[in-house]
Structure 1
């Protein structure tokens, strides 16, 4: 699910490339408001978001929606950049994203710190969810998170 039509197009293009590389998947893309996901309660085994939390228009409502659609034994995993990432990690990334450096820094400045992520969870009524830092990233989950690197 994506809020922006152009990003749905990008996802579909990427899937087409995957099919050409014999990596076909049973995937569908849909445009919808993230704060009103088009799925029934308790219907998803996994709710996953990668590198988009800092762009969510209504993060508290979207977190509530993730919780609503996730099955009781399911997993919500939200990964994004960490506003308070260590300078060494930021410098490392900037070495490799020459033309995208400004865009990366804009995303980093728009991202949340671990404390701000906990505040969002509290406001969403999800106080029992977890926030972890992992190198450059921030991981939010309804399950305990053990970082794989630090």
Structure 2
């Protein structure tokens, strides 16, 4: 199993319907390619985790890299993993709210990942932090 975590910033303000279109297309394609993961939005920044067969993940990511809807794309983590963190979702989604107590720490570290260079050990921890957040707050399987 291969996992890739990246961050980017929207090239222009995106509406909720723009995000819905991205999610619908991702869920359709990812299911077919055996890819799971999550997309996190905060303000105009994004963090995405893709996991699945390495060739499939890298193929999808190559398309992401060519997508003009975002800028400042940076890979935080590329690694082989024993298990999926988001096995139940072709593409989960969360819009983080910095004022919500349950997501304040996650918002802070995700903001750091988007705006600065996050150390590798912290980036790897971010994927686990996201999994735990969803497991506790969104009832995702452990």
TM-score, normalising length: structure 2: 0.27
Tell me which of the two structures has the higher relative contact order, counting C-alpha pairs closer than 8 angstroms and 6 or more residues apart. Answer: 2
TM-score, normalising length: structure 1: 0.26
